[in-house]
Amino acid sequence: MYDTISLEKDDRVGIITLNQPKTLNAISLTMTEEFTAALGELEADPDIRVIMIRGSGGKAFSSGYDIAEETDGDPYTSATWSERLNHDLEFTLSVWHCSKPTIAAIEGYCLAGGMEFAGMCDLRYCSEDARFGVVDTRFSTGVATLILPWIVGPACRELIYTGDMFDADRAERIGFVTRVYSKETFYDEVLKTAKRMSMVAAECLTWNKKALNQTLEIMGLMNALKAGVDAATLLNSMETPEFRQFDARKREQGMKAALKWRAEQFRQYE
């Protein structure tokens, strides 16, 4: 039924798997459409009370948005950047607006847009090999869903300004994830938590989520996220020298060469 994701049900838990392991589950436009459809299916199912989201292949939850889509073809204008970034925000908000609790089960890489997407889920658990990073900034692009300040507070500034990657232990210390599990027991432990949660009355889960979400929305979350998209649109439309150099190498030499060039710019200070 789906090309980029898979959907299964285990008792009262619905499980959506981002299923593009060759690209480390990069989020394409097709994936956003299929995910939203699958999420709607699970939300409408009265037998499902909790929704779990994971990546296939064991190497990544998601490496972020598929930048090949953004850099192939004609260059984006400010109008097309605005349209794309608002689309990305609506995609990440799908799990926020879902009436049922959503859990991000994170193995391996969880980067850029993938990290933003996980950040919009109600809970985040990860395996010991998980690696996180707001690597968007190293591509000289904006953050489409600026949820990180609402989760980790002031700690987000260093992460966003440097684009540094960080490990599972730090993710737990700063509060981005709730628990870290061994690679061997990770999936079973997260599923057990999801099933334990699913034993709570459906109405209780729904109304507690609604109250918790409204608390942050009253504090200005939605306006802040929209301001983040506006800033990202402006930044992406500027085409900084760094972005132009990366894009030129990507078009002329391929993505691997462009990524190698980008990494070399930071290597002496790592």
Q: pLDDT in tens for each of the 270 residues of the chain?
A: 899 999 999 999 999 999 999 999 999 999 999 999 999 999 999 999 999 999 999 999 999 999 777 655 666 788 988 999 999 999 999 999 999 999 999 999 999 999 999 999 999 999 999 999 999 999 888 899 999 999 999 999 999 999 999 999 999 999 999 999 999 999 999 999 999 999 999 999 999 999 999 999 999 999 999 999 999 999 888 878 888 888 888 888 988 888 898 888 898 888
Q: How many CB atoms lie within 10 A of CB 9?
A: 13
> Is 168 exposed, middle or buried, given 0-12, 13-18 or 19+ CB atoms closer than 10 A?
buried
Helix (H, G, I), strand (E, B) or coil at 110: strand
pLDDT of residue 91: 98
Nearest CA to 132 among 56, 51, 188, 60?
60
pLDDT of residue 70: 63
Residue 56 has φ and ψ, to the nearest 5°, of: -85, 160
Nearest CA to 109 among 83, 85, 133, 87?
133
Nearest CA to 104 among 126, 124, 122?
124
pLDDT of residue 15: 98
For domain 5-233, is the CATH number 3.90.226.10? Answer: yes
CB burial readout 188-199, b (16+ within 10 A) else e: ebbbebbbebbe
pLDDT of residue 74: 67
Chain region(s) in the chain for CATH 3.90.226.10: 5-233
